[in-house]
Amino acid sequence: MVRSNQDETQRSARIVAASSDIGHAISQRWMSKGWNVLGTYRTWSPSADELTKQGARLIKCDLSDSLAVSTSAQELISMCPNWDVLVLCPGALDPVGPFTDTCFDDWENSLMVNFTSQLRIIHDMLPSRRVNPDLEPCVLLFAGSGTNNAAPNYSAYTVSKIALIKMCELLDAEVTDTRFVIMGPGTVATKIHEPTMRAGEQAGTNFQRTADRLARNETAPMDRVVDCCDWIVDAPRSVVSGRNFSLVFDQWGTSELDDRLVQDPNMYKLRRFGNDWLVESESNATG
C-alpha cells in the first residue's frame, strides 16, 4: 500500500463506469465535496463530457476485454496512485431469457462484465490504496435482484451479483485493513432496464412489472442511492464491511442498525437458511 503525499483532507475516489447513471451521480456528489475523482467510461457520452468539465479525469475501459481492463487499471494508478474509495458501478442484464435459449458466449461474457472484470480491477488496484488509520479504504460494489429468490430469465446477471456478494465477505476476511461493501439499490430509473424492454416476452413476468414501475415512477430516487453510498464510505468497518445492504429495505444510517450489525457478524451476509431445523424425533433424541 502507498501513503499519499496529497492533502489528507481531500479524499480520492476511483469510480469504474463513472459515466453510467449511478456512477455519474456519485461522481458529482463527491466532486461537490472537493473529492479527487478519477473514473472510466465505456463509450463517450454527454455524461462523460459533463464530468470532465466539472473536473473528473476519465479513461476508456472495456470490461469485456481482460487486457483492456488491466491496462485501464494501471492507467488509473499512474494518473494518481493513491485512493481512498474504489467504486464499481457496471451492470449488464443481457442476455435476457431462459438459460437454455441464450447464446452461452453471451452468457459467459455477462459474467465477465458483471463479475470477473470487476474483480480484476480490484485485484490490480488494491496495492495502491491509501493507508488511513482513522478510516480504512473502501471498495463499494452494487448488487442486483435474485439474492433471496430465483430470478428467471436473468441467470447470468443474477449469478454474477450473488458471486460479488460472497466476494465482499471473502475479501473482508482476507484484507483486514480495507472495507468491502455491496449495496442493492433496488429499481432505479437507469439505462440498465433497456435490455428488459427489448426482450419483451423473453423477460417473462418481469417485462410488465418493470414497464409498470417505470411508467408509475416507482423507483428509488437517485439522491437516495448516493446518500446510502455516502453513509457506507463513512461507516466503520465493524458496521459495513463484508455485508450486503439494501437501499430500500434496510434502516441504514440509524444508530439502532449500527449497534445490531456490530453485535451480529452474520447479518446481511449470504447464509444457508433453516440450519437449526430438526424433525421432532431428532429433536427429542438430542434433548
Convert the pLDDT of each residue in 176-193 to its tens digit.
999 999 999 999 988 888
| pLDDT-derived band at 3, boundaries 50, 70, 90 | very low
* Residue 268: strand, helix, or coil: coil
In a domain, 67, yes or no: yes
How many domains does the chain fold into? 1
Amino acid letter, residue 30: W
Residue 29 resides in a domain: yes
Q: Is residue 3 part of a domain?
A: no
- Specify the pLDDT at position 279: 79
What pLDDT does residue 5 have?
39
d(CA 137, CA 124): 15
R_g over Cα of the chain = 20
Q: How does pLDDT run across 92-117, given as a tens digit for each residue?
A: 999 999 999 999 999 999 999 999 99
Domain presence at residue 277? no
- Cα torsion 23, 25, 28, 30: sign: negative
192-217 confidence digits (pLDDT tens):
889 889 999 888 999 999 999 999 99
Give the CATH number for residue 125. Answer: 3.40.50.720
pLDDT band, very low/low/confident/very high, at 6 (cuts 50, 70, 90): very low
Range of 150's domain?
A: 12-263
C-alpha cell at 149: 429468490
Query: In this structure, is residue 73 part of a structural domain?
Result: yes
Q: Is pTM beyond 0.85 here? A: yes
> What distances in angstroms separate CA 3 from CA 7, 137, 235, one per listed residue?
11, 12, 21
